[in-house]
Amino acid sequence: MVCAGELLFLQTQTKNQENPYMIVTTKDLFQHAYGKYAIGAYNINNLEQTIGLFRGNLGKKGSNDDALDGTTSAPFILQISRGARSYSDKRMLEALIRTADEVFPEVIFAVHLDHGTEEVCYDCIDSGFYSSVMIDASHEEFAKNIEITKRVVDKAHAKGVVVEAELGQLGGVEEDIVGSVKLTDPDQAAEFIEKTGVDSLAVAIGTSHGAFKFSGKQGLHFDVLEKIQKVAPKNFPLVMHGSSSVPKDWVERINNAGGKLKDASGVDEKQYLPAAKLGVTKINIDTDGRLVWCAIHREHFRDTPEDFDLRPAGKTFMKAYAEYIIHKNTMLGSAGQLESARGSLKGGKSSCGCACGR
């Protein structure tokens, strides 16, 4: 069996022999992070987000040509939702990411499908570009969720691609499903992992998608997380969706520039590391990036109403987004881990055990 790293390396080495792409599997990243820090999994849709994301993960605040900052650089997961695939064109995004990988050769990242259906998972597995897919059948009955997830795992593993699945249901809006909260049952989690052979599990422990997560005193259910970690196999990676912090200052900036986001709230960033200690190895962030985008563009056109050019606001956004990623990685504990992760991948500690060098 080929591993994803080897597969991707073989597919891309003709493009750039000297400088192979550093797309790895999420599994490789999880091995380095487990129990110590969480890998940031960031959704992207367009060019400006991609540039900001790559710069930020190399600790570059101002421009592509800034020197890499080892104290803040981080391995990361780049997530693509079904909505992002259809926003421009799935091939457009793929080309953008491959090019970013050439422009920023020091990066280490995984390419992951976020909230996939079975059909889209197969498309990504067959594309040879994604190193990881999420099959989200969490809205199905338990037995059906197992059945669908297992089918995807079998097809993905045969091609060296790793799989995340979800058990329980988050609140909030996710693609076309309006969710009602159903926390993950730890006993079901153990059975689910065993029967599906899945590589990581997204758990519902109180978070929800979007900018309106909690009202009053709600928060994360660490008791449930602790139980899940106890019954899961040793070092089994758990995933926290809906983990944007919806920062008050960014919401305020949006509202001061004409926005109307009332009662927006998110996950307390100080809870990321305690969650990581309990096995949460991947933390999903999408909404925060949208808030940064919205604030920068609203402020720009409020302050320069005579402007109609897309580039000045785009430049400000890329810089602000890179800085935001650095901040987020600091809270996740992944900032400063890039070189150590590289060493561990090169040292043959890759899960596949093959000679792909990742």
List the catalytic residues: 114
At 289, give phi and psi (nearest 5°): -65, -35
Closer Cβ to ligand 13P, 3 or 276, answer by number: 276
The C-alpha atoms of residue 136 and residue 139 are separated, in whole angstroms, by 8
Interface residues toward ligand G3H, by CB under 6 A: 43, 81, 83-84, 114-115, 174-175, 209, 286
- Shortest Cβ distance from residue 250 to ligand 13P (Å)? 13
175 binds, among Zn ion, ligand G3H, ligand 13P, none (CB under 5 to 8 A by kind): ligand G3H
Spatial contact of 53 and 76, defined as CB atoms under 8 Å apart: yes
Q: Could you tell me which stretch among 69-77, 153-161, 238-246, 251-259 binds Zn ion (CB under 5 A)?
A: 238-246
- Shortest Cβ distance from residue 286 to ligand G3H (Å)? 3
- Interface residues for Zn ion in 73-132 (CB under 5 A)? none
Q: Residue 291 is inside which H or E element, if any?
A: helix 287-303
- Considering only CA atoms, which of 40, 65, 57, 52 is closest in space to residue 326? 57
Closer Cβ to Zn ion, 166 or 269, answer by number: 166
Beta pairing, strands 177-179 & 172-174: antiparallel
Interaction between residue 314 and ligand 13P (CB under 6 A): no
Relative orientation angle of helices 47-57 and 287-303, to the nearest 10 degrees: 110
Interaction between residue 242 and ligand 13P (CB under 6 A): yes
The contacts of residue 156 (CB under 8 Å, 6+ apart) are 121, 125, 133, 162, 163
The C-alpha atoms of residue 266 and residue 254 are separated, in whole angstroms, by 16
- Shortest Cβ distance from residue 261 to ligand G3H (Å)? 16
Interaction between residue 112 and ligand 13P (CB under 6 A): no
Interaction between residue 241 and Zn ion (CB under 5 A): yes
Length of the chain: 358
The C-alpha atoms of residue 341 and residue 358 are separated, in whole angstroms, by 10
Closer Cβ to ligand G3H, 58 or 80, answer by number: 80
User: Which residues contribute to the site for Zn ion (CB under 5 A)?
Assistant: 241
User: Which residues contribute to the site for ligand 13P (CB under 6 A)?
Assistant: 43, 114-115, 209-210, 241-244, 284-287
